[in-house]
Amino acid sequence: MSRPPLLVAALGGNAMQDPAGDDTVPADFARTMETARTIGDLAVSGEWRLVITHGNGPQVGNHLLRSELAHEHGHLPPLPLDVCVADTQGGLGYMLQQSLVNALHEAGAPAVVAALVTQVVVDEDDPAFSKPSKPVGEMIGEERVDDLRQRGWSLEEDPHRGGWRRVVASPDPKEIVEAGAVAALVDDGVIVIAGGGGGIPVVQQADGTLVGAPAVVDKDLASALLASDLGADAFLILTDVDRAFVGFGTAAEKAIDRMTVAEARAYMDEGQFPAGSMGPKVEALCRFVGSTGGCGVITSIPNARAGLAGEAGTTIAP
């Protein structure tokens, strides 16, 4: 009997964060459960084998801030950024794993779900280390900018959302260290959560050993690499908008239902997809589709099934 096709679904950090701004753990669990019911439905139907990745942008910034405040007001040493990524990967993986198990139990289709600690190799000479660009944490008001810069933070203004965000290095992912383990688990019928927060960034030394790197890897680019390594049939990026737009925020704004890799790259060359928002998502889909010929889709969580059917979202084709 043939196996169902393999889907890699990438969730934004907002998929596990209360949209009303309630930062309590119960509120985040409630939001994660909503997401799990939608994603779990794809597995319940038997249509797909499933690997799930997720972001951690808001959460890792908050974790980093907690560490720095604890260091300033107590006697705890500050945590390096790679450990903050690992901590949030574990915490968010736990929330998503438990929520998926519960959602599948509710649906009468129990399954084994496993969250896997995942490392991603980056190049220590990547120019991104000298040009922080990845937004992390919450929005910051103008009144706090000078103080935070004195602490050594790199900050970047977000004119669309009316505030500032902390930015950190975001090097390009080169290798998913645990890709083989993910493949083995999928082959055994496990729903795998991997690559959380873009994976824990590590550098491979001359002797082959790995050491952590102070960065946050873009989760969509890391997910595209994992999807390509696994030979996935489809790569689905779930975000807070229904589809990609060109001319966004202008009188010429137009939703894109379908485009080829060449068309997508032409739009990127025009600056249609900003680096801080849709740009990495479109780039990630182009990499996956270009390397595998598979199906790449961007859409919102409620439209996940419709997006895979070509009835919603933006599809990128070879």
**What are the catalytic residues?**
13-14, 134, 219, 281
What would the two tokens of residue 165 be?
């965000």
What is the C-alpha to C-alpha distance for residues 270 and 256, in angstroms, rounded to an integer? 15
Residues 6+ apart with CB under 8 A from 120: 173, 174, 175, 176, 177, 195, 198, 199, 200, 201, 202, 217, 222, 225
What letter does residue 77 receive in the DSSP assignment?
A: P
- The upper half-sphere exposure of residue 143, i.e. CA atoms within 13 Å in the direction of its Cβ, equals 0
Amino acid at 4: P
Q: What is the DSSP string of 284-302?
A: HHHHHHHHH--EEEEEEGG
Q: Kindly give the residue spans of alpha helices, DSSP state H, lying in the chain.
A: 25-44, 57-73, 81-106, 145-150, 179-187, 219-230, 261-269, 279-292, 304-308
Task: Tell me how long the chain is.
Answer: 318
Q: In what order do the strands lie in the sheet with 155-158?
A: 134-140, 163-168, 155-158
d(CA 315, CA 188): 30
